[in-house]
Amino acid sequence: MSWRATLLTLFPEMFPGPLGHSLAGRALSRGSWSIEARDIRSFATDKHRTVDDTPFGGGAGMVMRPDVADAACAWAQEGNPGAPLVYLTPRGRPLGQDLVRELAAGPGVILFCGRYEGLDQRVIEARGMREVSVGDYVLSGGEPAALVLLDACVRLLPGVMGGAASAEEESFSAGGRGPLLEYPHYTRPAEWNGLRVPDVLVSGHHAEVARWRAAQSEAATRERRPDLWRRREELDGAAPAAYTSA
């Protein structure tokens, strides 16, 4: 049984979308994973096929109905048994490589894509949904977030990355001490628009190249992601920042 993605969405035609192309698309054609997107509206029971209603307590926007969402989840769990049920929402825990790795290692995933103001909290709790966010910004719906999560998982499935040295050799693949951002990359020509690639990269000294890349990774992480850098210092049991910075 290959890794199975079940999508619950009001816009099933958005899938597989970009995941039908490139590495993920070829893996999909080979049967390394599968995807099924089902219209949440097909679980509505009234004649207007209503999926949302006004929020109790007042306020703007609409809320997705728990009865319709629950029927959709029941259907998904029957067809994808054992797969965790994830609700994509900016209120969720931030998606990180750890969760991606965990989901990719399992049987698959059921992704509930919200629209409107969100989903009735009772069905989130009753179904034990894991609430996940892909970042601190608000998308118009969970679908692009679901595509992000799926892409990150699918590239970790056995055989998907093919010849690439390792799916895990990049930014956010922690090597025990917490993740670092990747070092910068260069290719031919060695001089372009008067700009030369760093000398060390054409020196042929593998140890120096490795040292340079490590230093670049650390500098980028320190500057751009002080949160990751602090975590690394903590894991190292390093001296407090006051003693190590400038």
Binding site for ligand ADE (CB under 6 A): 88-90, 133-135, 137-139, 142, 145
- Smallest separation (angstroms) from ligand ADE to the CB of 115: 9
130: helix, strand or coil: strand
Give the HSE-up count for residue 53: Cα atoms under 13 Å, Cβ half-sphere: 13
Among residues 68 and 132, whose Cβ is nearest to ligand ADE?
132
106/83 Cα distance (integer angstroms):
7
Tell me how far, at minimum, the Cβ of 109 lies from ligand ADE, in Å.
14
Nearer to ligand ADE, 146 or 154 (CB): 146
Question: At its nearest, how many Å lie between ligand ADE and the CB of residue 114?
Answer: 6
Q: Where are the beta strands (DSSP E) in 10-107?
A: 33-39, 52-53, 63-64, 85-94
Residues making up the chain, counted from first to last: 246
> Least distance in Å: CB of 88 to ligand ADE?
4
CB nearer to ligand ADE: give 117 or 218.
117
First to last CA, the chain: 55
H/E stretch holding 235 reads: helix 226-236
Min separation Cβ 180 and ligand ADE, Å: 24
Task: Say if residues 122 and 79 touch (Cβ distance below 8 Å).
Answer: no
Three-state DSSP state, 32: coil
